[in-house]
Structure 1
């Protein structure tokens, strides 16, 4: 158990099950070891979490304010790959839910052309990558999310994304509006949307 915890603690990225199995042997249950470590960490200011297909030590959200006061930033904020605009987040959300997806398909969702610059910004941040070529005419590139996307948003797998129906029930997303291209009328500009300045 201590070898597993020490390995995860020392690693700069999430440690996968294959690596942990090399440490303790394939006959040992990784899940039981992780559960035991989490039990020992109960009440501590950090926990062992599953993220991006591996395990990582992270401080608990309750201590973010204390860390921010001490260092001027919470853990993870200084490592943020890029500052995302509302437009970036909306496009990234569509890629995450509908991948693999082409730029033309993204443009049809929003009723406005999605610029190559916006796609380049997300690619440069390591949040998206090229997926398989689309079987449509011209075989355009598709886009998919990356491991960095999972790390950035604290997800273990894409199955951890909020359920679309739950987002609709909470009033945060309307699938009908999204598919009708009605999610954000002034998406391509830098005009105000519901009182929020949208920066491109």
Structure 2
């Protein structure tokens, strides 16, 4: 999430009238409030707008993580951004009692397979996907993944016609609880458990 720079006008970032300890706690509370209110991961620049100019965001994040150690949710980093996420041990309780809108996280087996292929072989074009699957991958399927903001257009492929390639997005990382692409499961293990995280397959 990025924030309009005009929105921070009028915010006392420095809190110079507060003792150092209270100032630090207020900055922590502001960071937590922003993360709690945001529907998407929040980047460094956005969080920096609510804390002192010389405050260490990393130390604030560390202290906030420690504060949340015994809470049912945690602070995680994904693709250089931060978000609050409920802990995995409460997944069953949440599904039983809360309306979480998880339908958007359900995938067909082919959608999941194509998403895995893009994740491990990006940037890759439709011809590259066809080589992996032995058949053409429909534009409709790729459009569905794009509309969920899980894939995006990458550089043009070195093939005749220079077709566009596909790459994964920060939303892909946050959906599957991955700090970065380096944290993808080993390719051999991925055949058994394709991707970690909250998404489910159907059909």
Which one of 93, 97, 116 corresponds to residue 120 of structure 2?
A: 97
* Structure-1 residue corresponding to 2:92: 65
Q: RMSD of aligned C-alpha atoms?
A: 2.2
Is the 1:45–1:63 Cα contact (8 Å) retained in structure 2? yes
2:62 corresponds to: 35
Q: CA deviation at 1:46?
A: 1.0
Number of aligned residue pairs: 168
Residue 88 (1) aligns with residue 88 (2): no
2:192 matched to which residue of 1? Answer: 172
TM-score normalised per structure 2: 0.73
Distance 1:39 1:69, change over 3 A: same
SS of 2:47 mapped into structure 1:
helix
Contact preservation (8 Å) 1:102, 1:141: yes
Q: What TM-score do the two structures reach when normalised by structure 1?
A: 0.74
After the TM superposition, which parts of structure 1 deviate over 3 Å for at least 4 consecutive aligned residues? none
- Segments of structure 2 that go 5 or more residues without pairing to the other structure are 1-27, 194-201
Alignment of 1:147 onto 2:170? yes
1:162 paired with 2:185, answer yes
5 Å matches for 1:110-125?
A: 110-125=133-148
- Corresponding residue for residue 29 of structure 2: 2
**C-alpha contact (below 8 Å) 1:81/1:126 kept by paired residues:** no
Distance in 2 between residues matched to 1:121 and 1:46, nearest whole Å:
30
Cα distance per residue 1:137-178 (max 9 Å; x no partner): 11111111122222321223222222325x27xx638xxxxx
Consecutive unaligned residues of structure 1, counting only runs of 5 or more, are 174-197
